[in-house]
C-alpha cells in the first residue's frame, strides 16, 4: 500500500533523524519564531524547506492550490487566518508568495471548461482570473509556452496585490516592518526567479544570478 512508504519514513525519522536534532525539537516544543510566511501551491513537487534549506521552525507555511491569496474580505477562511496569525501574532518580517512552472491551476485558468465538474476548484480559480485578464493583450505576441509563463508570473504579482488588502498586512507595510516577495520556482532547473517591482519583471536569484 502507498501509505506503507509514508509509515516507513516516519519510523526512519523517529529512529535516525529526531535523535540527531533532539535539542532543536525540544526548543520548538514550546515556541516558534519563523523568519517568513511562505505561501505556495499545494503541488506535491514543491518542498519549501528543501528549496530554501531551512530547518523546522524557520518557515510558517501556507499551501493552497495556485498559491492564491483571495482579496480581503472576499473569502474569509484558512488562507486569510494563516496570514493574520503569521503577521499579527508571530510577527514574521517577510512574506514570500511562490508560484511554480507547470502549475495545474494555471492550466485551469486557461481552460476553465476542463474543470466544470469540480465546483470547488472552479470557484477557487476565479481568484486567479485577474492574472489572465492582465496579460490577455499579450497573447498574440507570445507563443504558448511564453504566455503560460507570463500567466504564472502575473498570478504571483496579483497575489502580492491581494495580500495588501488584508488589514494586518497593510498595517505592517505602513509601519515598514514587513516586506513582500514574489517568486516563481522553475522545477526542471531548480531555479527561482523573483519579482522586481521597480523593473516590473522577474529576475533570477541564487546560482542563476
Do β-strands 179-186 and 191-196 pair in parallel, antiparallel, or remain unpaired? Answer: antiparallel
Q: Are strands 94-100 and 59-63 parallel, antiparallel or unpaired?
A: unpaired
Task: Please state the domain count of the chain.
Answer: 2
- Closest by alpha carbon to 95, among 169, 40, 36, 161? 36
137-141 average pLDDT score: 83
Pairwise CA distance, residues 167 & 72, whole Å: 8
Residues 23, 111 within the same domain: no
Same-domain status, 94 and 180? yes
The residue-averaged pLDDT of 119-142 equals: 91
Report DSSP state, residue 67: G
pLDDT tens for each residue of 151-184: 999 999 999 999 999 999 999 999 999 999 999 9
Q: How far is CA 116 from the centre of its chain?
A: 25
Q: What are the contacts of 170-177 at 24+ separation with CB within 8 A?
A: 172/87, 177/93
Distance in angstroms (rounded) separating the CA atoms of residues 19 and 14 = 7
Determine the 3-state secondary structure of 185 from DSSP: strand
Is 209 part of a structural domain of the chain?
no
Considering all CA atoms of the chain, what is the largest pairwise distance in Å, rounded to the nearest integer?
A: 57
Q: What is the pLDDT of residue 208?
A: 47
d(CA 25, CA 12): 16
**Which DSSP category does 55 fall into?**
P
pTM for this predicted structure? 0.94
Whether residues 10 and 47 fall in one domain = no
My answer on whether 107 and 9 are in the same domain is no
CB 80 within 8 A of CB 166: yes
* 180/134 Cα distance (integer angstroms): 20
Same domain, 11 and 62: no
pLDDT (tens digit per residue) in 56-72: 999 999 999 999 999 99
User: For residue 135, what are the domain limits?
Assistant: 32-204
Amino acid at each position: 500500500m502507498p501509505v506503507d512508504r509514508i509509515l516507513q519514513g516516519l519510523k526512519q525519522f523517529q529512529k535516525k533523524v529526531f535523535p540527531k536534532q533532539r535539542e532543536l525539537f525540544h526548543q520548538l516544543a514550546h515556541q516558534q519564531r519563523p523568519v517568513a510566511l511562505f505561501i505556495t501551491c499545494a503541488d506535491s513537487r514543491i518542498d519549501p524547506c528543501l528549496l530554501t534549506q531551512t530547518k523546522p521552525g524557520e518557515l510558517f507555511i501556507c499551501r493552497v492550490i495556485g498559491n492564491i491569496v483571495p482579496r480581503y474580505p472576499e473569502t474569509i477562511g484558512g488562507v486569510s487566518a494563516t496570514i493574520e496569525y503569521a503577521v499579527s501574532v508571530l510577527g514574521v518580517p517577510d512574506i514570500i508568495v511562490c508560484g511554480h512552472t507547470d502549475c495545474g491551476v494555471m492550466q485551469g485558468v486557461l481552460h476553465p471548461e476542463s474543470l466544470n465538474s469540480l465546483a470547488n476548484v472552479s470557484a477557487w480559480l476565479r481568484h486567479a482570473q485577474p492574472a489572465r485578464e492582465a496579460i490577455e493583450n499579450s497573447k498574440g505576441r507570445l507563443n504558448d509556452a511564453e504566455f503560460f509563463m507570463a500567466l504564472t508570473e502575473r498570478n504571483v504579482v496579483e497575489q502580492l496585490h491581494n495580500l495588501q488588502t488584508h488589514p494586518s498586512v497593510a498595517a505592517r507595510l505602513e509601519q515598514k516592518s514587513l516586506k513582500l516577495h514574489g517568486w516563481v520556482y522553475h522545477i526542471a532547473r531548480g531555479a527561482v526567479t523573483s519579482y522586481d517591482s521597480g523593473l516590473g519583471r522577474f529576475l533570477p536569484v541564487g546560482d542563476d544570478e
